[in-house]
Amino acid sequence: MTANLPQSPGKTETPMGTRVRNLLIVMVAIALTVSLFLGMRTQTDTASLSELAENSTPLEVAMSNGKPTLMEFYANWCTSCQAMAKDMGELEQQYAEQVNFVMLNVDNDKWLPEITRYRVDGIPHFVFFGKDGTEIAQSIGEQPRTIIAENLAALVAGEELPHATTTGQTSKFEAPVSAKKSASEDPRSHSIQVVN
């Protein structure tokens, strides 16, 4: 099907010119498709929070294997956590033999005791532990890679962390609190009110 396009006086498009034009359009379309495919592929090569969590050391192992530990409280919806995922993945590869990397998802009620113990109210929230499992320092919020890297280098060397108390941009988080029932709310407690 050919379109009836207005032509300049004296110029007519030859079948060879149409073929060249169509060939150029196809080549540009192929180049754009390849660029889009490669662009999407490079985006997925970076570490995601799910991959970091899947590859992390279990908490029980980390606290007992004699290596220093970096514990990160995170959530998949946390934009600061997502922004740091690539750097954290690279640091994990760099220090994999020397440091345990533990990822605890704050949306999992299983970690409520740890969330409460380390007073997590913003994420990402990092807790640094020595080789013996004792807490050394905490930092909260989005941190530049250099800050985390310097802390990890000091942690491995057994030195004082240079950025022990740093705070960056966080995503607010409120831990779900399990309310304890008072005696008057418990239906089995009616006998407490009886006085002899």
pLDDT digits (tens, 9 = 90+) for 93-115: 999 999 999 999 999 999 999 99
Q: Is 18 part of a structural domain of the chain?
A: no
Separation between Cα atoms, residue 45 and residue 51, nearest integer Å = 11
Domain encompassing residue 145: 49-172
Contact call for residues 143 and 171 (beta carbons, < 8 A): no
Q: What b/e string do you get for 139-153 counting C-beta neighbours within 10 Å, with b at 16 or more?
A: bbbbbeeebbbebbb
Q: Is 65 part of a structural domain of the chain?
A: yes
- DSSP, collapsed to helix, strand or coil, labels residue 20 as helix
Handedness of CA 45, 86, 152, 173 (dihedral sign): negative
Domains in the chain: how many in total?
A: 1
Q: Is 132 part of a structural domain of the chain?
A: yes
Contact call for residues 139 and 165 (beta carbons, < 8 A): yes
pLDDT at residue 164, rounded to an integer: 76
- DSSP, collapsed to helix, strand or coil, labels residue 18 as helix
Average pLDDT for 121-147 = 93
Which of 34-48, 51-65, 165-179 shows the highest mean pLDDT?
51-65
Residue 158: which CATH number?
A: 3.40.30.10
Contact call for residues 118 and 125 (beta carbons, < 8 A): yes
Q: Is 193 part of a structural domain of the chain?
A: no
Q: Read off the pLDDT band of 43 (50, 70, 90).
A: very low
The helix, strand and coil proportions of the chain, stated in percent and rounded to the nearest 5, come to 45, 15, 40
CA-CA-CA-CA dihedral for 107, 112, 114, 120, to nearest 10: 60
Residues acting as catalytic residues: 78, 81
Asked if pLDDT for residue 189 goes beyond 80, the answer is no
Average pLDDT for 157-172 = 75
Q: Is 95 part of a structural domain of the chain?
A: yes
Q: Is 16 part of a structural domain of the chain?
A: no
